């Protein structure tokens, strides 16, 4: 299990707008990596729109936002266009990055068990170390918490 102070697991993922993104290439900037279950679902849309609406504040604090799900690049493009998203969406179709961050978990709905992405956010410092971890994120007010940690 990842803990604060650990090096953030590096990744190279395809994005819908920037080719590939490599976490280790972002050293020198803070990075918010947030994992979400599925494009265009209510909670995921609200979370993405909250990050969109606070983008300039995050950017002013030298912070890059990367949203990661297992959705395809085509799905990410539709999601970006529909919600006018202004940050990086990366696709992890094989789930290796989800596994590395410990967010590919067993879930339960209506008594049925299945595996899916736990909504989680990781704040990575300028040197590539985990500064803050939020697991089982509740969307309402979450981006404000992230901003508070960045500014604090």
Residues 6 or more apart in contact with residue 117 via CB below 8 angstroms: 35, 36, 37, 69, 70, 98, 103, 104, 105
Q: Which of 31, 44, 68, 89 is catalytic?
A: 44
**DSSP states of the chain:** ---TTSBPPP-EEEESSSSEEEGGGGTTSEEEEEE-S-TTSHHHHHHHHHHHHTHHHHHHTTEEEEEEES--HHHHHHHHHHHT--SEEEE-TT-HHHHHTT-EEEEEETTEEEEEE--EEEEE-TTSBEEEEE-S--STTHHHHHHHHHH-
* 98 given a catalytic annotation: no
> 42-53 vs 73-83: helix axis angle to the nearest 10?
60
Residues annotated as part of the active site? 44
């Amino acid at each position: 299990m990842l803990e604060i102070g650990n090096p953030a697991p590096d990744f190279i993922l395809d994005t819908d707008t920037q080719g590939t993104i490599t976490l280790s290439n972002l050293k020198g900037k803070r990075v918010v990596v947030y994992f979400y279950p599925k494009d265009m679902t209510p909670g995921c849309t609200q979370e993405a729109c909250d990050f969109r609406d606070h983008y300039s504040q995050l950017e002013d604090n030298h912070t890059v936002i990367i949203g990661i799900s297992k959705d395809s690049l085509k799905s990410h493009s539709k999601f970006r266009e529909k919600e006018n998203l202004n940050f990086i969406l990366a696709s992890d179709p094989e789930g290796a990055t989800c596994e590395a961050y410990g967010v590919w978990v067993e879930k339960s709905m209506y008594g049925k068990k299945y595996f899916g992405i736990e909504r989680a956010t990781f704040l990575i410092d300028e040197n590539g170390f985990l500064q803050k971890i939020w697991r089982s994120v509740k969307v309402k007010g979450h981006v404000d918490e992230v901003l508070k940690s960045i500014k604090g």
